Amino acid sequence: MGENGFFRPFWILCFTVFQMLLLLSSGGHCQAKLKAVASLFPLYEFAREVGGDHCEVTLLLPPGAEAHSWEPKPGDIAKISKADIFIYLGASMEPWVDKVLKATGGKEVRVVEASHGLQLLKAEPHEKEQGKKGHSHGHSHGEIFDPHIWLDFQLDLEIVEAIIKAFVEKDPVHKESYLKNAEAYQGRLKELDRRYRLSLADCRHRKLILGGHAAFAYLAKRYDLQQISLSGVSPNAEPTPKRMAEVIEVTRKAGIRHIFSEETVNKKLAQALAREAGVSVLLLSPGANLTREEAKEKVTFIDLMERNLTNLKKGLACGD
């Protein structure tokens, strides 16, 4: 009896240590983390905020890449196929998605199409004719929808809801955490919307003249502004000389001092427009992706939208 009584606790200890080692070698907690992949920067931020500590979120777009024309490489497709959740926008923002999802077929990836079920705006008429130039795969019939829905913070609340649903489905154990994270972030989106509404309520000008592409229709609609842009919903399409002349004319007549331009796309055209109309250029980020500098500074989507609001207030002469 003596021997047994001594060795039993010893073996139990050995077994426990062995189990702990096994757990450590398998990565322990890390391996239980949910993996999500997002196509655009705002979707990446929403997923990262909802996921918190329980999820590892990857953004497909490298810093500085142009969101409309970017296409995935084999490595990106592998990332999607290994993910638990894949979030993309839809509404023709990622024309490569169908092919990629077919290629990764059979895997248990939960797919979230962020624009699904949302009230989408149609692309403005003048963009259709120009769209043909830039889009070899463009639809000559049917409607082209404007994909820039993330610039409507009310719609963003709904996108976050769709993301929560996917997270909870894939990882019900951390449901409370996801709900709590999402509520906090949705609170920040609501606050952003409130500040935009207040700040843009009383402006001398309501014409949002863009030297870039027509990315701000949802924002303009939400805050009662009028978007006038050089290019259509796709930044790849060059504006016609006729369109250029029209926008110069509108800018001169509006009596405004600033037009808006994106950091990367069509900057030269925006500068030419400003020169012709005798106005200056302010930056306005469509927010689909970060520039390299912004990525280095770890700028958030909310930061970008705050910066936009500062420039909108200046450019439209609000509250003075």
Binding interface with Zn ion (CB under 5 A)? 215, 286
Nearer to Zn ion, 92 or 186 (CB): 92
Residue placing its CB nearer to Zn ion in the complex, 51 or 147: 147
Strands 226-229 and 280-283: unpaired
Q: How far is the CB of 235 from Zn ion (least distance, A)?
A: 6
Task: Find the angle CA(148)-CA(277)-CA(235) to the nearest 5 degrees.
Answer: 25
The nearer residue to Zn ion, 109 or 215, going by C-beta atoms, is 215
Q: How far is the CB of 20 from Zn ion (least distance, A)?
A: 51
Please report how close the Cβ of residue 210 comes to Zn ion at its closest, in angstroms: 11
Using the 8-state DSSP alphabet, how is residue 203 labeled?
A: B
Smaller CB distance to Zn ion: residue 215 or 281?
Answer: 215
**DSSP 8-state class, residue 120:** P
Q: Toward Zn ion, which CB reaches closer, 215 or 269?
A: 215
* Cβ distance to Zn ion smaller for residue 239 or 286: 286
CB of 149 to Zn ion, least distance (A): 11
> Which tokens go with 53?
């500590």
- Min dist CB 151 to Zn ion, Å, is 9
Long-range Cβ contact pairs of 293-302 (< 8 A, separation 24 or more): 294/63, 295/63, 295/64, 296/63, 300/45, 301/41, 301/42, 301/45, 301/150, 302/45, 302/188, 302/189, 302/192
Rounded to a whole number of angstroms, the minimum distance from the CB of residue 202 to Zn ion is: 28
Nearest-CB residue to Zn ion? 215
- Alpha-helical (H) ranges within the chain are 2-25, 41-51, 74-82, 97-103, 125-134, 153-170, 175-199, 217-222, 241-254, 267-277, 292-296, 301-315
CB 273 within 8 Å of CB 247: yes
